[in-house]
Amino acid sequence: MDVRTARARPGARVLLRATKYDGTAHWLQPFRVLSDDGNLLVTAYRARTPIYTSRGEFRSPYDSIVYFWRDRWYNVFRLSRPGCRTALWYCNVTTPPTFDGCQIGYIDLDLDVKVYPGGCIELLDEDEFEAHRVAYGYPEHVVANARRAAEEVARLAREHRFPFSCG
């Protein structure tokens, strides 16, 4: 199956498999597909379902709606406590994702952006990004795309544009 054209069926179960730039495992998380238009893959995650990370098992207290654009260097997790409104959006700066029909894959590039409904925007993990940029030898186009992605997420949030317009 061609990872550039594979589409997910609504209701299907898929697995997120994120790595670091050197290929080491970083994150495994199950999702249920809500929709897939060929560019934007929208998934859901239920609170307290196990997530396997490089630091061990984690169980998020949040239900999540997650937006993966195949042509963007970030994804957006809209997080809410079960039965409540959006608590925050957590945005991972990554390579554009691939999808093979069963798994979503991307390289985590360390930078994250946290957006709160009240308008507060936080850029996170700049120190980790700089350390890994050197340690893993991020090419200049990767560095430029990562920084541009963090700026784009912040701009969309400031302008209350999708996906920061829903909550």
Quote the pLDDT of residue 83. 85
Nearest to 92 by CA among 52, 137, 128: 128
How many Cα neighbours within 13 Å face the side chain of 118? 2
- Predicted confidence (pLDDT) at residue 41 exceeds the cutoff of 80: yes
Contact assessment for residue 14 and residue 102, using Cβ atoms and an 8 Å cutoff: yes
Quote the pLDDT of residue 5. 67
- Residue 134 — very low, low, confident or very high, per pLDDT cuts 50/70/90? very high
Give the CA-trace dihedral at 45, 46, 52, 58, to 10 degrees.
Answer: 130
Tokens of 118: 């009240």
- Residue 1 — very low, low, confident or very high, per pLDDT cuts 50/70/90? very low
Predicted TM-score (pTM) of the model is: 0.94
What does the alpha-carbon distance between residue 19 and residue 88 come to, in Å, rounded to a whole number? 24
- Predicted confidence (pLDDT) at residue 166 exceeds the cutoff of 80: no
CATH of 13-158, one of 3.40.190.10, 3.40.50.970, 3.30.1280.10, 2.40.380.10: 2.40.380.10
Q: Of all residues in the chain, what percent carry a pLDDT higher than 70? A: 96
For every residue of 43-58, which 3-state class applies, written as one string? EEECCCCEEEECCEEE
DSSP three-state, residue 102: coil
Where are the chain's structural domains?
13-158
- Predicted confidence (pLDDT) at residue 10 exceeds the cutoff of 70: yes
**Which is it for the CA torsion 148, 89, 156, 162, positive or negative?**
positive
Quote the pLDDT of residue 80. 95
pLDDT tens column, 66-77: 999 999 999 999
- Count of other CB atoms within 10 angstroms of residue 34: 15
